[in-house]
Amino acid sequence: MKATTLYISIPIVAWSIWILLCGKCLDNALQQLLVAASGSSTLQLKQAKALQETGWWPSSTTTQARSNYSSACHWDGITCNAGGSVITIDRSYRSLGGQLNLNFSFFPNLVRLNLSLNNLDGRIPLDIGMLQKLVCLKLYSNMFVGPIPSTLGYLTNLEFLDLRENKIYGSIPSEIGMLKNLTFLYLSSNMLVGPIPSTLGHLTNLEYLLLGQNKINGSIPSEIGLLKNLTNLYLSSNILAGPIPSTLGYLTNLEYLDLSENKINGSIPSEIGMLKDLSYLNLSHNFISGEIPSALGMIAPLLTMDLSYNNLTSNIPSSLTDIYRLDLSHNSLEGQIPNGYALNHNSNTLNGNKDLCGQFKIFPLCRKGKKSIITEIKTFVPISIFLGFLVIGGGGILFSRCVFKKNQIESRGLKNGNIFSIWNYDGHIAYEDIIEATEDFDIRYCIGTGGYGSVYRAELPSGNVVALKKLHQKEAENPVFYKSFINEVGVLTEIRHRNIMKLHGFCVHKGCRFLIYEYMERGSLFCVLRNVDEAMKLDWSKRVNIIKGIAHALSYMHHECIPAIVHRDISSNNILLNSKFQGFISDFGTAKLLDLDPSNQTLVAGTYGYIAPEFAYTMTITEKCDVYSFGVVALEILMGRHPGELLSSLSSSSSSQNMMLNEILDQHLSPPNRLIGQEILLVATIAFACMNTQPKSRPTMKCVSQEFISRRKANLIPLTAVSLLQLRKQAAYVDGSGFAYC
């Protein structure tokens, strides 16, 4: 009996012990899960607090974060992963100021950080190297100073690094060579010094290398030839010396090569002829000597080659005749000009069909003689008259004194009368008045700085206020910028539209070059949208009217001007607002007359974020490029910010497709009433149609303009009931005749 009892008791005791031990295991596992969950919650709280302390979000948003630790995931510009950890921070175009004081240690999963186009200053923190998972870092167009932190070398997952347009100084750290996944490296327009580190040769995935407009010295390292995937190499406007390395010939994917405005010497290596995809080559303003390799003419895609302002000698190879834009001026070339050339070759010793185009190369005016050139220029600016004389020679064609519109000059009145009569007598009087009004362009009158000049406000003796766009001295001497200056004059004297900014005149006088426009009190649309007080004054009705005005102006340019005019740089920066918040298209320096250029191929022009996607690979300009840019601007006006992040999420995330239209509208304004809401629905539908990735599927601006004018009967659909997915379906373009609406 005792044995039986013992036999039965052993399994019971064992079972009891197993339950006890496993129960403890289960308890430990549960505790670990709770600790993990608690840790996740703690991280989210720390992230929300760190974001709150930057001051980059409204106080109302961060107050909500204190009551709900996960609310940071719903903030504007923040994206989180499934576990609630922040993976994207995008506060671009926000007019943010101060230093970058984000605690990076709380963001171990951050993949994208975009703080571009703000006013952030101070140094880029060293602890940015803690963001081990970072793939994209964009800090361009701020006021960062100090050196590039060497700790960036720890970001080995980085694919996109953009530090352009800051005040960063010091040398490029060799540690950047550790970023083996990097495909885009943009460091241009800073104050960098020292040599290009040879370690950049380790970046074999690199496609874009932009180091231009710095003070980088030394020679171009031969290791740059290891970057077999490179398509764009931009080293212009530095202090680089020594020869061009022959290893550049190994960059067989290169499409764009700009080494201009340096101190490069030696000869042009014939190996450049191996770059069979090259479409743009600029070696101008250097000390390059020797002959022009005939192999350059064997590069079939080469459209533009500028070798001006060097010490090139000998004859011009006959193989270069197929290059569309060819500038060989200001060298020591000699001999006969081969037949079939239309080129720019002043200050050379050449015989045969001499070109009188000079640096003033508006169109190909070669082999026409002085009289023909003057006729061409008057055709280019048909309603202008020229005061002074033309000088044709090594310096190109120069205009002395000032040029103003004929109707202004022919008007009569007192010097202190209205703005037109100021220019009654001659350009000199207007010039003196402008110099006096701006105290010789004193910085106190400067109201903005653009790509190639500064803008000044001038109150003339008559009491009229004008805006003056003046070329900087360096840009005034640069033929590229001067061409842009003259191009703007030529286009704006041709066109008249209520939504295109008026040009009153221009002046080339005593080395001072400026354009005179009507004054726009509110400044650029870009700045107004990013200033909370100004944005709130820009109510829904005003915003819709601005969009309509831009559409009508572009329709006029594309369909009523002969030849058609394509702006090429429609962006919120180039839409100016007057005191009544009416919109005007400005900045025609890159505009293109389509019929005068059969190829319509050109260099990249425009503003990042507004350029049509097909232009990147076709380099071909059509009206549909402006249509795409218009769509981006229209959506930006509705959202109050650039729609780039939204467009990216729509193309990659199904969750964004389910967002409602009212959710993406500018939250600074009260929700629109139902009537204006239908106008917004129309604008949004048109905007998405204009941004179609296929150019042929985009509407024409004439069609867009007519849609706004037709005032079709509104279906009062609440914006809360329209998803972005529905909106994109509604944006289908039908047979070139209209839009399909639900």
Please count the other Cβ atoms lying within 10 Å of the Cβ belonging to residue 21: 10
Q: Is 469 annotated as a binding residue?
A: yes
Does residue 326 contact residue 320 with C-beta atoms inside 8 Å?
Answer: yes
Does residue 495 contact residue 549 with C-beta atoms inside 8 Å?
Answer: no
Angle, CA of 14, 20 and 26, to the nearest 5° = 130
- Torsion on CA atoms 383, 503, 424, 521, rounded to nearest 10: 160
Strands 191-194, 167-170: pairing kind: parallel
Give the C-alpha separation, 343 to 208, whole Å: 30
Residue 354's nearest CA partner among 364, 362, 366, 363 is 366
559 to 82, 442, 571, 632, 703: CA distances (angstroms): 50, 41, 20, 21, 10
Residue with tokens 């709770």: 34
Q: How many residues does the chain have?
A: 742
Give the C-alpha separation, 463 to 350, whole Å: 53
Give the C-alpha separation, 118 to 233, whole Å: 26
Task: For residue 22, give every residue at least 6 positions away whose Cβ sits within 8 Å of its Cβ, in sequence order, or none.
Answer: none
- Structure letter (DSSP) for residue 712: P
Please count the other Cβ atoms lying within 10 Å of the Cβ belonging to residue 605: 17
Give the C-alpha separation, 165 to 449, whole Å: 13
Give the C-alpha separation, 168 to 50, whole Å: 26
Active site residue 440: no
Beta bridge partners of 123: 145
Beta bridge partners of 469: 455, 515
Strands 97-99, 738-739: pairing kind: unpaired
Strands 733-734, 738-739: pairing kind: antiparallel
C-alpha of 322 from chain center: 30
Does residue 383 contact residue 405 with C-beta atoms inside 8 Å?
Answer: yes
Give the C-alpha separation, 60 to 84, whole Å: 21
36 to 28, 49, 65, 73: CA distances (angstroms): 12, 20, 21, 19
C-alpha of 151 from chain center: 28
Catalytic residue chosen out of the listed positions 569, 587, 595, 666: 569
Please give the structure tokens belonging to residue 153.
Answer: 């070398």
Does residue 742 contact residue 725 with C-beta atoms inside 8 Å?
Answer: no
Q: Give exposure, 506-539, as e/b (b: 16+ Cβ within 10 Å).
A: bbbbeebbbbbbbbbebbbbbbbbbbeebbeebe
Binding site: what residues are annotated? 469
Q: Catalytic amino acids?
A: 569
Binding site for ATP: what residues are annotated? 469
